[in-house]
Amino acid sequence: MDDQQRRIAEGVALLRARFGEKMKATPSLADASPQGDGPANRHGMPKEPPGQNVFEKHEWPVMDLGTGTPDLAPERWRLVVDGAVETPLELSYAGLLALPQVDEEADFHCVTGWSILDVAFRGVRLETVLALARPTAAATHLMAHSADGYSTNLPLEEALKPDVLLVHAVEGKPVTREHGGPVRIVVPQLYAWKGAKWLTRLELMTQDRRGYWEIRGYSNTAHPWRDDRTW
Ligand SMILES: Nc1nc2c(c(=O)[nH]1)N[C@H]1C(S)=C(S)[C@@H](COP(=O)(O)O)O[C@H]1N2
Ligand SMILES: [Mo]
């Protein structure tokens, strides 16, 4: 094991010790209803959450603020991790690719009513990056910030789930510019607005603060299987 691998393993152990119980109490794990994050977790239940229509992969819509598509070449892309962390860090695209990679099949549910099922995502667990940055003892939430001015908040017990990825490839190809390339987040157990496209910054916070859509009326909890659309 090299130093970075050791630091990741230690950081993950610390985070799981601190947030494991809270993670088990989240709706996708505590509710009797399915988790909605891919075939392994549907438990024979319906494939799509209430009120959703399944779209084929080739029909995947592009959703953004309409303020223009950021043009971030991978060589210029940087992710800053700061706020309530012991070790603020800045990650390049090459640095992201050098971290442990995860392949996963997950579903994608947009609150406007469409879902795409069984998408092949490749990337790095958000947990891995937080294990390197080490959230302080007071950290409870994070804000993901994007190059288009978008932001979205997550409690750490959701952000640390193993299927929450910093994605750089979808269905075997680099994430396209319109879909948030070079790097976007996916949070399969929550509505898709929780996954910031054109990710540039993860700000760790010591209390909750609402992001772009959460201020404008979208649910702060965003669980598709509970139909948490608005507040
Ligand atoms: N930076 C950024 N991220 C974003 C958004 C956005 O407008 N800007 N829209 C969100 C919403 S509402 C959805 S449904 C998904 C859409 O991702 P897609 O364009 O790949 O379908 O991205 C989310 N992440
Ligand atoms: Mo959305």
CATH of the domain at 192: 3.90.420.10
Chain Cα centroid distance, residue 231: 21
Task: Average the pLDDT over each of 20-29, 45-54, 222-231 and give the range with the smallest value.
Answer: 45-54
What pLDDT is attached to residue 30? 82
Q: Which atom of ligand 1 is nearest to the CA of 180?
A: 20
The verdict on the CB of residue 100 being under 6 Å from ligand 1 is: no
What CA–CA distances, in Å, run from 231 to 55, 133, 139? 26, 32, 24
pLDDT tens figures, 178-190? 999 999 999 999 9
Could you tell me if residue 208 is inside a domain?
yes
Over residues 102-114, mean pLDDT:
95
Let me know how many helices (H) and strands (E) the chain has, helices first.
6, 11
Place of tokens 């069984």: 118
What pLDDT is attached to residue 35? 58
How far apart are alpha carbons 134 and 173 in whole angstroms? 31
What pLDDT is attached to residue 121? 97
Chain Cα centroid distance, residue 133: 17
What pLDDT is attached to residue 201? 99
How far apart are alpha carbons 88 and 110 in whole angstroms? 32
Could you tell me if residue 231 is inside a domain?
no
Could you tell me if residue 172 is inside a domain?
yes
Task: Average the pLDDT over each of 45-49, 165-169, 198-202 and give the range with the smallest value.
Answer: 45-49
Over residues 207-223, mean pLDDT:
97
Query: If you take atom 6 of ligand 1, which residue's CA is the nearest one?
Result: 64
How many angstroms does the Cα of residue 138 sit away from the middle of ligand 2? 31
What pLDDT is attached to residue 1? 78
| Nearest one of 137, 101, 104 to 119, comparing CA atoms | 104
* Substitution site in 63, 183, 191, 230 for ligand 1 pocket (most atoms within 8 Å of beta carbon): 63
What CA–CA distances, in Å, run from 208 to 23, 86, 141, 143? 17, 19, 6, 9
The model carries a pTM of: 0.96
Q: Which atom of ligand 1 is nearest to the CA of 64?
A: 7
Q: What is the number of domains present in the chain?
A: 1
What pLDDT is attached to residue 44? 58
What pLDDT is attached to residue 124? 98
Over residues 87-105, mean pLDDT:
97
The verdict on the CB of residue 61 being under 6 Å from ligand 1 is: yes
Could you tell me if residue 28 is inside a domain?
yes
Under DSSP, the state recorded for 225 is G
Chain Cα centroid distance, residue 167: 8
Could you tell me if residue 99 is inside a domain?
yes
Query: If you take atom 21 of ligand 1, which residue's CA is the nearest one?
Result: 62
What is the residue range of 129's domain?
3-60+68-226
The verdict on the CB of residue 144 being under 6 Å from ligand 1 is: no
